[in-house]
Amino acid sequence: MDAAACKPGPAVIACRMLEDELLLAMRRTGKEYPVAWLESGLHETPQLLHAALMEAIAAYDGRYGVLLLAMGACGNAVDGIGAAHSTLVLPRFQDCIGLLLDEPRASDAFYLTRGWLRGERALPCAYRRARERYGEKKARAVYEIMLRNYAAFSLLDTGAYPLSECRAEPERLAACFDKALTTSRGTLSTLEKLLLGQWDGEAFCTVAPGARFSLLDTLMGGGIHQ
């Protein structure tokens, strides 16, 4: 397809975990572009996320001049992606949580958002399935090992919804695993800049038509933010 035939307005390919925040950012900026959603559970398997991302890109490639990827690098799932006719724009962040954080990342905090909690592979659902399959004692022992390096569950306050609407599950998790429950400051700044076309080289990586995203290029071009 001739690049001149592409629609000038961008389209968005987004992680479903960011749905609340992306929709609010669209309302704030007035940039309500078409969106292809990638299921949040794909984060658990980067190879599947990569395949789903390439499929979504192929569906929009040539139909829109620019494809905005509302997600992080996510386990290097973005390495090698590209489009024949459309420009790709990707925020330089390690994952979707980093993209939303508005304060230094704490290494001992397990960050939660409402979008993350809704996922079928998120901790509450995964732990529930483990209890049903292996019993309470064995499931708890396994998850205590998995969570031993975390001191707290932290709800990320992005302003996209009242935290009271999604606090019950984190409170149960914190009580179950004897962790603190905290709140961290979130931001929609990166998503708003993505939608507004404010793609500075420090915060965003731009991939021209016919080229492919390289994790090494990203690291050399300013790095991936934590």
Bridging pattern class, strands 204-207 and 87-91? antiparallel
Task: Give the pLDDT of residue 121.
Answer: 77
Q: Is this prediction's pTM over 0.75?
A: yes
Task: Give the pLDDT of residue 136.
Answer: 92
pLDDT values of the chain reduced to their tens digit, one per residue, 226 residues: 454 566 667 999 999 999 999 999 999 999 999 999 998 777 777 788 899 999 999 999 999 999 999 998 877 888 899 999 999 999 998 889 999 999 999 999 999 999 999 877 788 889 999 999 999 999 999 999 999 999 999 999 999 999 999 999 999 999 999 999 999 999 999 999 999 999 988 889 999 999 998 876 555 554 444 4
Tokens 């931001």, residue? 187
Burial class (CB within 10 angstroms; exposed 0-12, middle 13-18, buried 19+) of 152: middle
Domain chopping of the chain, boundaries: 3-95+188-220, 102-185
Task: Give the pLDDT of residue 223.
Answer: 46
Cα–Cα distance, 79 to 92 (Å, whole number) = 12
Cα–Cα distance, 209 to 212 (Å, whole number) = 8
Q: List the one residue out of 22, 71, 66, 21 whose CA is nearest residue 42.
A: 71
Residue 136 near residue 143, CB atoms below 8 Å: no
| Three-class HEC string of the chain | CCHHHCECCCEEEEEHHHHHHHHHHHHHHCCCCCEEEECHHHHHCHHHHHHHHHHHHHHHECCECEEEEECCCCCCCCCCCECCCCEEEEECECCHHHHHECCCCCCCEEEECHHHHHCCCCHHHHHHHHHHHHCHHHHHHHHHHHCCCCCEEEEEECCCCCHHHHCHHHHHHHHHCCCEEEEEEECCHHHHHHHHCCCCCCCEEEECCCCECCHHHHHHCCCCEC
Q: Does domain 3-95+188-220 have CATH number 3.20.170?
A: no
What residues contact 95, with CB distance under 8 A and at least 6 apart? 43, 72, 73, 74, 75
